Every structure is written in C-alpha cells, then in structure tokens.
Structure 1
C-alpha cells in the first residue's frame, strides 16, 4: 500500500524528533558568544511544528545554572493542522517554556548577561550531552548568514513558480486585485500563495498596517488591511529583500486564501483551513511567524 508522505510527516508530530545539521551554528547573547559548533541538531518537541537548536553542552561558552526565578505560566495555543483534526498541535506562539518532554530548565549565564530559563536539558538518551536553546534571547548565524524566527527545517520546502493564470482576489464583493502575472509560492503543508505585482492590486483600497512578522525562509513581512470590511484586518502582506531565496516575490503582495474570495483560472477556490484562518495568525517567541 502506498504511503502519502504528508500524512507520514504529520503522524510524527506527537513524537520527539531530531536531525543533525552539517551547518556551522553560532549563537550570541549581547557581546558574548554562547556557542559555535559544527555538531548542532534540530529538535522538534512533541506537538511542535517548528524546530529549535540543540547544541553539545561541552561546546557552550556559557554557564548553565539552576533557574534564579520561578517559572512563569505558559499559555498553550493549540490548533488543528487540517480540517476535522483535533487542535493538538502547538502554534509557535506557545512559548519555549512549554516543554512536552521531561527535562531540566536552566539559566544561560555569560560574563555580562543571564538568559532566564533559556536552556533545556532533555531526558532522552538520543540527546544525551545536548541542551536545547530558546531561539528568542540569542542572535543566530548558520555559517555566516543571519537566521530569524526559528531554524530552517530541512524537510520544509519553499518553491516559487511564475504563472500566467488569471487570479482575482475579492472580499465582500469588492475586487482587491486581479492579475495574470502572479508568482505562485508552494510551501510544505501550507496553501499555495499567490504573490501579485502591486500594479495589479487596488492599493487605493488598502491601508498599511503596523503588524510585522518574520519567516525564516522569506524574511520580514509588512501588512495591509482592507478597512472597507470588518474581515479585512491584516489581510495582505509582502516581504522585505533580506533573503535571496525569496527574490521572486520581493516587492509583490499576497492575500490570505483563508479569508478572501480567490478565483484562479475562473474557478472560485475553497477557503483552506490553516493556522492563519483567524485574523491574527500564529506568532512565535522571537516575534510573529509569517505565512
């Protein structure tokens, strides 16, 4: 019997998962180097969809100490990965301190700074000798390039393809964009996103939003709202130019398929169910996570 790979991947989410990376991984806290290693692993705690770094404890340039402060309560933000599924997967806005395996929380202490409960020593034999570091307090490099949001997942792809298909975006019967020059962005486990040239978007109907989100694969996103509808808050976005990987969508604008009427090739598309079906979408401990 054939195996549908997406179901296989989603079936592992309740488990503790890890994968070594060949990249040079560095983290700093203020002026202090915390780790510089070629032996890092990516770790997904059970119920998590985004990875985090685990590094060899012996390679830390910092001290790990018992927490100086009591643990603050951490609110869970569960969601369903697909329509009809139970909302058991943790939205990335669920903070690092909500661990789903046994282990020990630790402070990370450098010569000048302390990051409270920023390390976690898991009780798992396959991760013996490793500590997991909270992404948020540190500045991170893979080789010599900055990474933001969370580490990139080696099993997660982003492919962008040019298309001449007719695309129209509408809300409450008002056309907000129409183009035959979209760039289609295909991202693992997410709906197809249609990135539209600004000349084909009714920018006169939209207003800029203060919201900002980050994506490890595409950069920092700025948002627009459509004030003509009560359902139009933060409904469109575009990325900055920091990542060459996403050059094909630089300067373009996309709308949430989940919250607009999207017609592609003359066919009205069903609204997909995803973490971004609600107006604010998910956000992570290092800042909101982009679609």
Structure 2
C-alpha cells in the first residue's frame, strides 16, 4: 500500500479517513528524506549515487526517489525540449539519459518551477524506473519500485476453518491456514498443500511479481482461470507462506468459518508506469545481470 497508492491514507481511494473538523485537500503530497544510500545503474555504469535522496509520495503513484543534481554523473543528462505540467509541482523538464554507449529519451525528469512550499524538491532529479538497468540501496538491488517504508506485511497462523469449492468438489479444506495482512489489501488466506486436492490445480504459464513477496505462479481449477496462486520461492521476509496456495474469492468459492468471502474492490495493482516496473523479467535476468556491484 504505502502512503499514497493503492488504498493508503493519501490515496484517492483511501480505505480510511482522517478525523478532522475541516476536509483535507483532495491531493496531498508528502516528501521525506529517504535516509538510505541509493544508486542507479545504467549502461553498466553507476550514474547516480547519494545518501541525500528525497522520497516523494503522491496520490495514485508509487514512491519516487529524487536525487540531488550533483549526485548524477556529469554528461549523463541532456535536456529535451519536451515539457509537461505536473498537477502540483508545476512545469516538468525531461532529460535523455546517456551512459556506457546507451541512450534513452525521457528517462529522467525534474520540476523546474516549484511553488514555495515544495522547495525541498528544487534541483532534484528522478529516473524512470523501467528505463534504468537497476536501482540499489547500498549493494542490494531494489526491484519493482522505490521501496516504500510504510508498506507492511504481517503473517499470522490461525485455526479458522477455510474451505474452497469448485461447485460440489472440495478443492481445499483446512483448519490451519496462514493469513497474510498486507497494508492496503484485503487479507489473503494461504493453505498448506497437504490440505489441498492438488490434482485440481492446473499450472498455467505466466507469473506476476510483487516487490515485497517475489514471483507468484498461478493455477487454473477446472474452468476457473487463474483461480489460485503460490509463491513457490517466497522471499525470506514472507517465508511463512512459501509454497502455500491462496485462492481468489470471486473466481472460486472460498468459505471462512461458513461465510463466503467476496473479492473486495480496489485490489488491482497496475504493473507499469514511469514510477515502477512490476515485470517478472526484472527478476528473471541471468545471474550476472542481477549481481550486486560493489563500490
């Protein structure tokens, strides 16, 4: 979730609301020091490196990292004639990024006519996520989008009774599911494979990527396309659901303690944008391309 995207508190479709006497503005932006060293890789070179990054949260977007101009290698940025108008921050100037024999247009930007209240953004450069080779915090690669310090996942064990049915066929029946609470999303229930009729799960091609959990593989159940998924090799932070299976309410019948679960609105994740690249390909590169580059 984070602060400003999905159903976070500063998002347009926030699931909660602020308890204030006067309504807040429809759009609120929040800028804060990241307080982490962040680096950008492009053309097999480091083109930006700073521990003075500002993270901008704005409604409907993932957080975006802004680097001081002097943290960008000389000669990397070439100003373009192309200009756009940001809803809150005024005119946006775009740059072509060139390094290591490669060049990409509209791969970076800055806001050049900032209102006084946004002075913290003055002179700072942001890089389009999908245009760059990679982003790092220290020597660890960050994938998908700039890490959001307000995004949280909690996993709890429970003895609640979860039953999954395809018509009259029981696909899963467990009293030991794991429930995954992820900020901005409805709870997701994960079932141990020992409590599933695995003959009902038909693996399908195509994975999706979550920056916080890893690669998800999908299953069709009878005529119900992509009705279930599993993080076969979930990242260590969410290892409790590794290789367990979750089922999509609305696509297949999922009952919890006798109550039918419904697909909640506002759960769709948009994979592409200037601020993110939620493509499995970012994780499926060869080992050489994924290695951490030391200083």
TM-score by length of 1: 0.76
1:7 aligns with 2:33: no
Q: Distance in 2 between matches of 1:118 and 1:133?
A: 6
1:114 aligns with 103
What SS class does the counterpart of residue 191 from structure 1 fall into? coil
- C-alpha distance 234-19 of structure 1, shift in aligned 2 (>3 A): farther
Residue 255 in 1 paired to residue 247 in 2?
yes
Q: Distance in 2 between matches of 1:238 and 1:32?
A: 36
* Change beyond 3 A, Cα 1:110–1:100: farther
RMSD across aligned positions (CA): 3.0
- Give 3-state SS (helix, strand or coil) of 2:46's partner: strand
Q: Give the paired residue count.
A: 252
Q: 1:183 to 1:111 in 2, by over 3 A?
A: same
Contact 2:55–2:64 (CA<8 Å) still a contact in 1?
Answer: yes
What is the match of residue 264 of structure 1? 256
Do 1:260 and 1:271's aligned partners in 2 also have CA atoms closer than 8 Å? no
- The aligned counterpart of 2:125 is 131
1:122 CA drift (Å)? 2.1
Asked if the contact 2:210/2:278 (under 8 Å) is kept, the reply is: no
1:105 is the counterpart of 2:90: no
- Structure 2 distance, partners of 1:189, 1:287, is 17
Q: 1:5 to 1:213 in 2, by over 3 A?
A: closer
CA contact (8 A) 1:158 1:186 kept: yes
**Corresponding residue number in structure 2 for 1:217:** 212
2:267 matched residue in structure 1 = 275
In the alignment, does 2:180 pair up with 1:177? no
CA distance in 2 between partners of 1:154 and 1:197 (Å): 30
CA distance 1:164–1:144, shift in 2 (3 Å): farther
**Matches of residues 1-291 of structure 1 in structure 2 within 5 Å?**
6-8=16-18, 14-48=27-61, 50-61=62-73, 63-67=76-80, 100-101=87-88, 102=90, 103-123=92-112, 124=114, 125-138=119-132, 139-226=134-221, 228-229=222-223, 232-241=224-233, 243-276=235-268, 282-285=270-273, 286-288=277-279
Change (3 A) 1:8 1:208: farther
- In 2: Cα distance, 1:198 partner to 1:268 partner: 21
SS in 1 for 2:225: coil
What is the distance in 2 between the residues matched to 1:37 and 1:258?
A: 46
CA distance 1:246–1:120, shift in 2 (3 Å): same
Q: Which runs of 5+ in 1 are unaligned?
A: 72-96
What stretches of structure 2 of length at least 5 have no aligned partner? 1-8, 281-295
Q: 1:47 touches 1:100 (CA, 8 Å); kept in 2?
A: no
Any conservation in 1 of the 2:185–2:267 contact (CA below 8 Å)? Answer: no
Instruction: Answer whether contact 2:230 2:245 (CA < 8 A) is retained.
Output: yes
Secondary structure (helix, strand or coil) at the match of 1:259 reads coil
